[in-house]
Structure 1
Amino acid sequence: MISGMAYSSPLKAQDILNKTYSLSFNNATLQEVLTYFQKNHDVKFIYSKNSVNLSQRVSVNFVDQPLRNVLDQLLKKNGIDYEVLKNRIILGKLTATGTGDFKAAISAENADAADQQELGIPITGKVVDEKGLPLPGVTIVEKGTTNGVNTDINGNFKLSVSDKNAVLVVSFIGYRKTEVAVGDQTSISISLSENISGLNEVVVVGYGTQKKSVTTGSISGVSAREFEDQPVTRIEQILQGRTSGLTITTNDGQPGDGATVRVRGVTTFNNNDPLWVVDGVVVDNGGISYLNQSDIESIEVLKDAASSAIYGTRAAAGVILVTTKKGKAGRTQINYSGYVGTSAPARKLDLLDATQYATLRNESSVAGGKGILFPDPASLGKGTDWQSVIFNKGAKQQNHELSVAGGTDKSTYYTSFGYLQQDGIVATDISKYKRINFRTNSTFKPSKYVNFGENIGYTYNKSIGLGNTNSVFGGPLSSAINLDPTTPVIITDPTVAAKAPYIRNAGDPPALQNAQGYYYGISNYVGQEITNPLAYIQKQLGNHSWAHNIVGNAYMEINPIKGLAIRSTVGTKMAFYGDESFTPVYFLNASTIGSRNNYNRDQTRVFSWNLENTASYTRSINQHNITVLLGQGAYVDAATIASGVTEYGLPVTNYNDASLNFAIPAIDRIGYGSEGQPHHLSSLFARLNYDYQEKYIIQGIVRRDGSSRFGSNFKYGTFPSVSVGWVPSKESFWPKTEAIDFVKLRGGYGVVGNDAIRDNAFLSTIGGGRNYSFGTGDTYISGYSPNAPSNPNLKWEQTSQTNIGLDAILFHDFNLTLEWYKKKTTGILQQPSLPFYIGAIDNPYANIGDMENNGQELQLGYHKKVGEFNLGFDGNVSHLSNKVTRLAPGQDYLNGAGVQNIQGGVTRSQVGYAYGSFYGYENTGIFQTQADVNNYISPKTGLPIQPNAKPGDFRWVDTDGDGTISDKDRKFIGKSLPSWQFGFTATAAYKNFDVVVFAQGQAGNKIFQGLHRLDILTANYTTAALNRWTGPGTSNTYPRLTDKDDNSNFGYNSNFYLQSGNYLRIKTLQLGYTFDKNLINKIGLQKVRIYATGQNLLTFTKYTGYDPDISGSIDQGFYPQARTFLVGLSVGF
């Protein structure tokens, strides 16, 4: 790093000037004094007689004075300047600007050949930024040498280079390194552009912005340039894999569906969704579906308490700040971006065909003591591939965005329109998503003291969904997986169609038919909710959900004096959403029947608003920089109002003809409604930021919140944080090296809260239905009693977090961030079990749980221009360790998710283990012979541990060592939460061509692969069943098939069902071409780019289900993500 001197010479030159001399002259010429130095002290002077006057007489007396002081007295007082170059002192005429003119001194006529070669060519210059402002402290080095200087406070520099072929390497922190060829130039002007990952970049921090160089909290950001022209429908997809500290898993692959977002892990047994703040307005997780990616300017994730404490009680699960685009001063800019393409399933499950299915069913039936079901399996052939029946390999997708923006120095505006349409890859007729969005904002500055503006977004969504997904209980995907392949899609044989179950009794619901009048096939073997998926689709046609979302804010800011900003902001969110559905009379199988049609319409209204007033003051005094923020907020989530009506027995047969206008008996019309409780929050907050020279940094935050969800004893909570930073690379002792440009160490501690529980949980509510018979009569008297005792001491969940981080820039172009954190939540709200003699029906909430997360994060970035190539790489890796540290007294664990016909559930949370870990039995292989069964002896009892097992059954581990297999032998067998998250983006551009590759993945978790419907013995299997045990030595991993599973081979949750959830996915590959500006400017265009994109192209995983990216890590028929191919166009006018 450079100190900002006017000129920096080699150390040897400084030694010459620091050497001391004693001399005395009386009325001598300057020529005589200089000659004395050259003859007696080997100090060589070079000068031009035509440039400097050495005939001037001087009288001096120096005793042990540095040569610097001697020359200052002798020369500068007489209009002569000097410089030391290559062990020589050059003299030049002192100019009016106070600097010397040394050009004449080293011309060929004044310096010999040796001097010329050593002194080189003198260069002067100036370095400025993109705005033309001077940059002090910039390093200028002659390439391939150590010959270099720094710019002075005005950006000026002087340097002598070896020859005309020299190249100057110009570098400065936060700016791109630049190389300049000298050639014939003697005066050079250099402009540096900011590094895109530079420290001058501004990040949003909540109620303001900060330079990246002075942030002390843990903040990760994603800017618009990282996801522009990327095919995403929701912003969670933007964040997945692009920043450290986030775990994002897909809720469902259906069009328009969201994802589960966790910031630095799970922090509570309750709501773990982060706080979403869009342009200052708080929106819930589901509410962000209204956002369109083309309107987003940046996204910041506040990960630690030091940064998120400004949001207090709602920040325990992290905060995600979304900033939308605004207009800018300048000409009107019109931009269009759009793409069209198709999607297809990325993979199919390997399921048994008809012959394989019949063969294995025969085997299982015989092993269970029954007879053969299919006399000739081979005659059945391949049968029906139900996945192919419902999968769409050409599902259409399109997106179009148009924006208009511009402004002046007094006002700006931005308006956008968007349309998105996406068809699902599974059962497309009932799997669609459409979104129409509109956004407008403007700002006004009528004077230098006042500015105001507004920002409003509106979105309409229409979604047609499958209903039950990731469930074995029906739906077309579950049916396609479990329905036997021996059942035909439709019945074309009239003799079959003339029999039961297709011919029904008079008055019975009819079997469904397609448009051509053919019955949909009904299985003779598989029943319950597993039905012909095409028949299910027809039953659901027309059903859909819809939503209108309006989110907006308006503000006014007053700047009465320099540095002071007083701002008031009011924001609101209004949502109206609902469903419309029609269910005809139908018969899908003996278990799935609808005897009366019905039409349902419901809607829900949600309204929330917030009012915030802030005052911020910024002042810089002698490189001491201070910013103070004071604020007050009021927030109301008004009562949610829901209403609906269902009508039965309408005189119609399909959705299109159904309505609420038919005259039907009152008994067949059922109306319903509900109104929730409003949630109020009142807040005061403050933040202090201080730094000295951006080298020593401190930030303090305190927020006090009052919530209506708590009683008077703990209605208010205080949430503080403090963080500090130190930039050792700005210290004078820091070595000047090309390797390390910038280093910042930071650390912070803070406490945030969580009040995401039901309203009025601290109160004792009264419930009815507690009827009682008094005396000897049989008459019941209506009774009421408390549901649960009150708890006036109920208070906030508190999450404290310690964070230590390091930010560095290496070799000018390489950015590095390292983080370590420890996050602890105390007082988690639970409902402990109370003894029955208390008389309560329900259990009260209490603060009786603790949880801990520890993690490390690494974020890397590299961007460099090499010739005509622009190269870039951004990557991140996060590691997380979670464990439960306290539960309610006497409560050993919390049960988690369950799966149909799996005994005892599949996950639980217990002290010392990760939240929601898989809990079950462990098998160590399969008994190959009866001798293996007999020899599996308990050391404690000396008897066989599994005396009733048969060859082909699992050998269960006797965990507790009591000699039998029981519930006590279950143990923790895997984590559902991934330990590792990672992602990287590689970019390259050459001339007008560009390519982007984005990949992401996770590791360290298990997935419960539960695709088989266990309670239906006749349900289909994956082809893994072909590797079942059929005799000694045939398999040690897949047990025998039998209709009588006495050993619970398939009934126990065990490591048999768990598979690795590790994966790496090539998420996006995009190739683009930008047309030359000289060409498109002729037709009035500013930018034209075309591109082709492939999404979800390749996934590296050992998981055998559709997709390892599964929220909750339990797979029972998860709607797979689509592989998509698109072509797109971006045009700027």
Structure 2
Amino acid sequence: MKKNHKYGAWYDHAFKKTFLIMRLVLVISLVCIMQTFALDSYTQNSKISLSVRDLKLEDIIMQIESGTKYRFAYNRNEIDVDKNYSVSIKEAEIKEVLDQLFSDQGINYVIIDRQIILSAEEDPFISKQNHTVSGRVIDSMGMPMPGVTVVIKGSTKGTITDLDGKYSLADVSVNATLQFSFVGMRMQEIQAADESIINVTMVEETVGIEEVVAVGYGTQRKETLTGSISKVDGDELARSQTINLSSSLAGKLPGLIVNQRTGTPGAESLDITIRGTGTFNNNSPLVVVDGVPRDNILERINPEDIESVTILKDASAAIYGARAANGVILVTTKEGAQSKPTFNLSYSYGINNPTKVPDMMDAVLFAQVFNETQYYLQGRPDMSNYAPFFSDEAIQKFRDGSDPILYPNTNWPEVSLKKNPSQQRINFQASGGSENIRYLLSFGTSDQGGNYVNQPYSYKKYNARARVDVDLTKNLTVGANMSAILEERSEANGTDFVTILQANPTLVAVYPNGLIAPGRFGNNPLLSNRRGYNKWKNDPINTTFTASYKVPFVEGLTLDASYNYDLRNQFQKVFSKPHEYHEYNVQTGEYDPKTNNIPISVEDTYSRWTTALSNFRISYKTTIKEDHNVSAMVGTEQQKQTYSYAMAYRKNFVSPAIPQINAGSTKPEDLNNGGSASENAYNNFFGRVNYNFKSKYLLEFVFRYDGSQIFPEGKRYGFFPAVSGGWRISEEDFMANMKFIDELKLRGSYGELGNDRVPAYQYLQAFQFGNNFVFGGGDVPGIYSSTLPNPNITWEVSKKLDFGMDAILWNRLLGVEVTVFNEKRSNILLQRNLSIGQVFGFPALPDQNIGEVENHGFEVVLTHQNTIGDLTYSVNGNVSFARSKIIFMDETPPTESYQTNTGHPLGSDLYYKSDGIFNTQEELDSYPHGAGSQVGDIKVLDLNGDKIINGDDRYRASNSPQPEYVFGLTANLQYKGFDLSLFFQGQTNAWTYDGTVDEFGQEDLDNGLVYRATNRWTISNQEGATMPRSNDWQPGTTDFFLYDATFFRLKNAELGYTLPASILSKTGINDVRVFVNGVNLLTWAKEITWRDPEMSGGFTQYPPLRILSFGVNVKF
């Protein structure tokens, strides 16, 4: 029979559409490759006008770099950049400008392509015993570096490295010093001596002010940055072999808090916040990829495609207005470069296992604990005259394994979890360009297997990206950036990690003949592949087109425009069917086939999201009277988002062979349909103005006038301004004698930002079906008002205050960043509980903008790098602290003051205060306790002293699951061909309640933790018990099971080796690097030792994974 289904047909159509788009992009990119095999140099004919008097050389260099594509390289110990120079020239070539600038100054320069190398004049009496020097230049990852400038110090003689990173320089004196320089890398000087081969490894300038970082709708040099902004390079993130980019960000950036709650393939649950939490509502930051706000993208984007990730933490995020209160994550993807075509192929294969599988009770311990449970349930005063559920003979058979069918001892995690399921990643990139065209083409695939035996847990991802930038004229550049992703995720229907952990160990999993037993109620985890499946397909397509025009008749004026269209489709199918298992018949000794009575059913769900965004900006940059540098940008942006959802459900199929909706029953009781749709639109105007005086005194103003359709007319628009300033103290004359300070800057900012991540359209009257009425002699379904509308609802407002210090010390060996911040969030949407009471007969009260929360904290970053002989190393450490406090929420006053939410952190809960365990009857009788308390139960304190244990004795905890301190430490080492990277991550001041610890040995026959059982109170183990008795009584949630979630882990480690060039010289391959990598290798936890301490919700979640992999990177 042909299987027709409208959703499946639609999905095939969508996938074909995706394929056609990517095929078109591939054709365009291949054309670009063929057009750009020749490497052209940057034009030397650019005209420069420059007029300055008595200005520091460093500031003059900055002016030239900001107005051209030239980049300078020099040694600060050799070139005095603080010395004042003068020059006045118009419409001249760069050579003319430099000749006039350095006339009779004792400075030589070399211009090679876009590089300008400055050096002191060579001693004329240097020996002229000359020879030829050649070699190869690579980066810290062992990859060849084309375009590196190599010059003889103090002369105008030099060259650049070719595509393979190779160079050759003739007529080099034995007394000469070779200088190697590249933008973003530390300049290196090497004595030529009589060496004929000199190989060099370039090191990133990680401690420096020349770094360029992304900001909202543009970039800025770090030295003139006034906001609190942190950045991590994509190459560092790609080292982690996790498929989810979000997980790789944990600990990398100060202020960014990432907690991985589960490790389900393709559906890891991660909580991401910037500087903690500030609202009762959504605390997620805004994610912007290549200038476009995008939801649910971090977990899907290919880490190999990332150029950098930057976070805006303070008022600098105000340029994103009503969506920026929780901070902004800016993701910049890679682009093509002006070079001959280069090809990169990377492959990695690994195995993954849970970081920690809880130790569950075996059959012997389970039987003993269960007997105790039954004893306590019967209320017996002692163990005498008690007929246990499991006899001593049965327990002995569990122990000795003499009867594996009737008295098994099943280790369910052992039989249900796979050993070393595999995962692999493949990525291919092609990039290059000429003077006028730059392109990048990337394809990748990831395949991650699940950890369950007989369960179809898996995740596959296919991604493609193409980016092309074309200089149509000298002033006009256009570009296209397109990406497509296809995700396929599959998992069992009805089985999860908790089913495995809590399975009864006294039941058989698999009979000796290989037949699968029923487990408990037919819920054996090994049967999950017979129950059906749960499958998802996702295919996001993102397209962006850009144009940039430099207005020729107004120097410094640029027009930028972009249009973006994103489409994401998701299709989910849940298929359930009866399944067969076998039961052992004690009387006959046969294995009887059984089938459960689950009906055949299918549920298809289709979801579709679209985003259309247009953006137009005008930018202007100029210098006034030599010292006053001004830049400004204004823009407008319109965005429309739509969402639609459709669901169809059928059951009672004739056969499970056709799991399609149209094959199901059409009876009303056997079907269900549903659907919804929504849309939203934004309209805004934004801008930024920057001013600095000699790059010493810095000032920035940003704003956004934002409008959102989810709010009522008259409340839709808001103005969100921010101002920031900086003072580069190191540029002051009085700092001239403090030679150990290379850079010292103070900065501060203040601004107002919005948060519209709240339920939409609360100003409209909402209705719901229900409340049947008798009409015409029969029941007629009606509708009723579910929530009162609020016509005055609007966005939350965040007021952010930030102060910081940035310093670079001791000839750039040490970098220090210190920041303190305070945020006051107001207009938070909450229901009134005190000032307006609930009125009988009315629907629920609407949310109102009444809540207030304060959040404060600090961040510290230390960086160090150095080269000692052939060893190059760098260390980067960061620590962040953030603590929230509720200021107002209109709560009903509790009976006791220590129960109020006000004054406590967000996420704090009420707990009974525990004080150990009642060890004796005398102790129990002498202290207030609940009616059900027995010896061995948790002792709860009578906080209000009324001799009664009730809800008034609960207190509000001063902590929450949100960590207040997070920290990260990265160490990188390179020695000749070897490289080693270590990354540590951790948190403290986080507390999590784990009530699942106490779920064991109950009357429902669920299994429990060995940790809980071996430390429980018993008649024979009273003084040494750290856990209450089995089946203990509690008045409610106690802090006995509130645990310190402090942990420190080796998050990632990688050891690599780059093959020597001599081995590859005749292969046509430029570079080969092999590596081994480990993720979540070691973990130290303060209290939570029975499960992964990063998880939430107890030990029953699918845990994060430990991944061991090896791989190879090939460049040709």
Normalised by the size of structure 1, how large is the TM-score?
Answer: 0.77
1:538 aligns with 2:530: yes
Write out aligned runs for 1:11-90 (5 A).
none
Partner AA of 2:846 in structure 1: P
1:484 aligns with 2:484: no
Write out aligned runs for 1:282-361 (5 A).
282-284=293-295, 286-305=296-315, 307-361=316-370
- Inter-partner Cα distance in structure 1 for 2:333 and 2:202: 29
Aligned to 2:876: 874
Aligned CA-pair RMSD: 3.5
Which secondary structure state, in structure 2, belongs to the residue aligned with residue 290 of structure 1?
Answer: coil
Is the contact between residue 108 and residue 120 of structure 2 (CA under 8 Å) also seen in structure 1? Answer: no
1:417 aligns with 2:454: no
Q: 1:406 aligns with which of 423, 428, 432?
A: 432
1:1000 aligns with 2:985: yes
Is the contact between residue 477 and residue 533 of structure 1 (CA under 8 Å) also seen in structure 2? Answer: no
Is the contact between residue 329 and residue 408 of structure 1 (CA under 8 Å) also seen in structure 2? Answer: yes
- Inter-partner Cα distance in structure 2 for 1:379 and 1:1103: 33
- Inter-partner Cα distance in structure 2 for 1:909 and 1:570: 49
Aligned to 1:883: 885
- Inter-partner Cα distance in structure 2 for 1:685 and 1:766: 37
Which secondary structure state, in structure 2, belongs to the residue aligned with residue 884 of structure 1?
Answer: strand
Partner AA of 1:1026 in structure 2: T
Aligned to 1:799: 798
Q: 2:638 aligns with which of 630, 634, 640?
A: 634
Cα shift at 1:861:
1.5
The superposition leaves residues 1041-1065 of structure 1 with CA deviations (integer Å, 9 ceiling, x where unpaired) of 355x4x42xx632122122211111
Aligned to 1:817: 817
Partner AA of 1:864 in structure 2: N
Cα shift at 1:688:
0.2
Aligned to 1:1126: 1109
Which secondary structure state, in structure 1, belongs to the residue aligned with residue 335 of structure 2?
Answer: coil
After the TM superposition, which of the residue ranges 822-831 and 171-180 deviates more from structure 2?
Answer: 171-180
Which secondary structure state, in structure 1, belongs to the residue aligned with residue 1048 of structure 2?
Answer: strand
Which secondary structure state, in structure 2, belongs to the residue aligned with residue 316 of structure 1?
Answer: coil
The superposition leaves residues 679-720 of structure 1 with CA deviations (integer Å, 9 ceiling, x where unpaired) of 111000110011122111111011111111111231111100
1:577 aligns with 2:570: yes
Is the contact between residue 603 and residue 642 of structure 1 (CA under 8 Å) also seen in structure 2? Answer: yes
Q: 1:697 to 1:128 in 2, by over 3 A?
A: farther
Partner AA of 1:1105 in structure 2: W
Aligned to 2:973: 988
Is the contact between residue 637 and residue 680 of structure 1 (CA under 8 Å) also seen in structure 2? Answer: yes
Is the contact between residue 454 and residue 526 of structure 2 (CA under 8 Å) also seen in structure 1? Answer: no
Which sections of structure 1, spanning at least 5 residues, go unmatched?
7-96, 101-123, 141-154, 158-163, 468-473, 494-515, 894-906, 937-943
Q: 1:592 to 1:681 in 2, by over 3 A?
A: farther
The superposition leaves residues 315-342 of structure 1 with CA deviations (integer Å, 9 ceiling, x where unpaired) of 1111111111111112111111110111
Cα shift at 1:425:
2.3
Q: 1:633 to 1:171 in 2, by over 3 A?
A: closer
- Inter-partner Cα distance in structure 1 for 2:218 and 2:56: 35
After the TM superposition, which of the residue ranges 1031-1040 and 848-857 deviates more from structure 2?
Answer: 1031-1040
- Inter-partner Cα distance in structure 2 for 1:682 and 1:425: 47
Cα shift at 1:5:
9.6
- Inter-partner Cα distance in structure 2 for 1:312 and 1:909: 33
Q: 1:632 to 1:476 in 2, by over 3 A?
A: closer
Write out aligned runs for 1:613-628 (5 A).
613-621=616-624, 622-628=626-632
Q: 1:226 to 1:428 in 2, by over 3 A?
A: farther
Aligned to 1:557: 548
Which secondary structure state, in structure 1, belongs to the residue aligned with residue 539 of structure 2?
Answer: strand
- Inter-partner Cα distance in structure 2 for 1:1088 and 1:481: 44
Partner AA of 1:209 in structure 2: T
1:1069 aligns with 2:1053: yes
Q: 1:835 to 1:1055 in 2, by over 3 A?
A: closer
- Inter-partner Cα distance in structure 2 for 1:835 and 1:138: 84
Partner AA of 1:216 in structure 2: T
Q: 2:390 aligns with which of 374, 380, 384?
A: 374
Which secondary structure state, in structure 1, belongs to the residue aligned with residue 432 of structure 2?
Answer: strand
Identity of aligned residues (%): 29
Is the contact between residue 245 and residue 300 of structure 2 (CA under 8 Å) also seen in structure 1? Answer: no
Partner AA of 1:825 in structure 2: R
Q: 1:182 to 1:538 in 2, by over 3 A?
A: closer
- Inter-partner Cα distance in structure 2 for 1:576 and 1:458: 12
Partner AA of 1:1065 in structure 2: R
- Inter-partner Cα distance in structure 2 for 1:600 and 1:929: 56
Q: 1:355 to 1:5 in 2, by over 3 A?
A: closer
Write out aligned runs for 1:827-846 (5 A).
827-832=827-832, 835-837=837-839, 839-846=841-848
Aligned to 1:1091: 1075
Is the contact between residue 306 and residue 333 of structure 2 (CA under 8 Å) also seen in structure 1? Answer: yes
1:930 aligns with 2:950: no
- Inter-partner Cα distance in structure 2 for 1:1098 and 1:889: 44
Is the contact between residue 646 and residue 671 of structure 1 (CA under 8 Å) also seen in structure 2? Answer: yes
Cα shift at 1:804:
0.7
Aligned to 2:807: 808
Is the contact between residue 168 and residue 181 of structure 1 (CA under 8 Å) also seen in structure 2? Answer: yes
Q: 1:177 to 1:412 in 2, by over 3 A?
A: closer
- Inter-partner Cα distance in structure 2 for 1:475 and 1:805: 50
Cα shift at 1:1106:
2.2
- Inter-partner Cα distance in structure 2 for 1:338 and 1:675: 42
Which secondary structure state, in structure 1, belongs to the residue aligned with residue 455 of structure 2?
Answer: helix
Q: Which has the higher contact order (CA 8 A, sep 6+)?
A: 2
Is the contact between residue 742 and residue 810 of structure 1 (CA under 8 Å) also seen in structure 2? Answer: yes
- Inter-partner Cα distance in structure 1 for 2:275 and 2:219: 23
Cα shift at 1:477:
1.5
Aligned to 1:598: 601
Cα shift at 1:346:
2.7
Cα shift at 1:651:
3.0
Q: 1:544 to 1:170 in 2, by over 3 A?
A: closer
Aligned to 1:43: none
Cα shift at 1:1036:
5.9
- Inter-partner Cα distance in structure 2 for 1:221 and 1:592: 57
Is the contact between residue 713 and residue 792 of structure 1 (CA under 8 Å) also seen in structure 2? Answer: no
The superposition leaves residues 471-510 of structure 1 with CA deviations (integer Å, 9 ceiling, x where unpaired) of xxx73421222122111102458xxxxxxxxxxxxxxxxx
Write out aligned runs for 1:656-671 (5 A).
657-660=658-661, 662=663, 664-665=665-666, 667=668, 670=671
The superposition leaves residues 764-795 of structure 1 with CA deviations (integer Å, 9 ceiling, x where unpaired) of 22444345569xx9876765543333222111
- Inter-partner Cα distance in structure 2 for 1:589 and 1:773: 51
Cα shift at 1:225:
2.6
Which sections of structure 2, spanning at least 5 residues, go unmatched?
1-53, 58-101, 124-152, 156-173, 379-385, 402-408, 584-593
Aligned to 1:682: 683
Q: 2:849 aligns with which of 847, 850, 853?
A: 847
Is the contact between residue 908 and residue 956 of structure 2 (CA under 8 Å) also seen in structure 1? Answer: yes
Aligned to 1:1020: 1007
The superposition leaves residues 389-408 of structure 1 with CA deviations (integer Å, 9 ceiling, x where unpaired) of 12222101000001111111
The superposition leaves residues 925-960 of structure 1 with CA deviations (integer Å, 9 ceiling, x where unpaired) of 112222212333xxxxxxx55576432222210011
- Inter-partner Cα distance in structure 1 for 2:566 and 2:284: 18
Write out aligned runs for 1:143-158 (5 A).
none
Aligned to 2:519: 522
Is the contact between residue 905 and residue 960 of structure 2 (CA under 8 Å) also seen in structure 1? Answer: yes
Partner AA of 1:988 in structure 2: L
Which secondary structure state, in structure 2, belongs to the residue aligned with residue 133 of structure 1?
Answer: strand
Q: 1:98 to 1:729 in 2, by over 3 A?
A: closer
Cα shift at 1:892:
6.1
Which secondary structure state, in structure 1, belongs to the residue aligned with residue 1051 of structure 2?
Answer: strand
- Inter-partner Cα distance in structure 1 for 2:188 and 2:796: 52
- Inter-partner Cα distance in structure 1 for 2:908 and 2:120: 55
Q: May I ask how many residue pairs the two structures share in their alignment? A: 927
Is the contact between residue 764 and residue 786 of structure 1 (CA under 8 Å) also seen in structure 2? Answer: yes
Is the contact between residue 875 and residue 969 of structure 2 (CA under 8 Å) also seen in structure 1? Answer: yes
Cα shift at 1:270:
1.3
Cα shift at 1:126:
4.3
Cα shift at 1:166:
13
- Inter-partner Cα distance in structure 2 for 1:866 and 1:196: 17
